[in-house]
Amino acid sequence: MITLEEAKGIVSAAEHKAQQMGQPMNIAVMDAGRNLVAFQRMDEAWVASIDIAIDKAFTSAGRGLTTREIGEMAQPGQPLFGINTTNGGRIVIFAGGVP
């Protein structure tokens, strides 16, 4: 369980990191049940990445792994190959999502 206040803290930390990187981002926070708790779109963040941010949170919250780790396990010959075709295509297999 993650509270709204905790989710706001995560959003704030992610926004700070994005500012350091000079990259506006969409930031989504989900609880362990994959329910959206908080979302923030920074000024100038790509509109097209709204769904990607939410799906990265969905992916990492559901597995307890980063999307980078899942991506490594989703390569041909690896145990999760093809996982990105499940869950209506919501599973993201590139970096950016953290549990």
Q: Is 8 helix (H, G, I), strand (E, B) or coil?
A: helix
Task: Specify the pLDDT at position 1.
Answer: 85
DSSP state of 85: G
Q: What is the pLDDT, as a whole number, of residue 59?
A: 96
Q: Answer yes or no: is 63 within a domain.
A: yes
DSSP type of residue 23: -
In a domain, 58, yes or no: yes
When pLDDT is averaged across residues 4-22 and rounded to a whole number, the result is 98
- DSSP assignment of 55-73, as one string? HHHHHHHHHTS-HHHHHHH
The answer to whether residue 99 is domain-embedded is: no
96 occurs within a structural domain: no
Q: What is the mean pLDDT of the chain?
A: 96
Residue 95 belongs to a domain: no
Distance CA 91, CA 93 (A): 7
Structure tokens at 78: 């690896």
| Percent of the chain scoring above 70 in pLDDT | 100
Mean pLDDT of the region 11-25 = 98
CATH number, residue 63: 3.30.450.150
Question: pLDDT tens, 30-74?
Answer: 999 999 999 999 999 999 999 999 999 999 998 899 999 999 999
Number of domains the chain contains: 1
Q: Is residue 73 part of a domain?
A: yes
Nearest CA-CA partner of 34 in 15, 56, 49, 66 = 56
The residue segments making up the domain with residue 24 are 4-89
Residue 22 is assigned to a structural domain of this protein: yes
Q: For residue 62, what pLDDT is reported?
A: 83
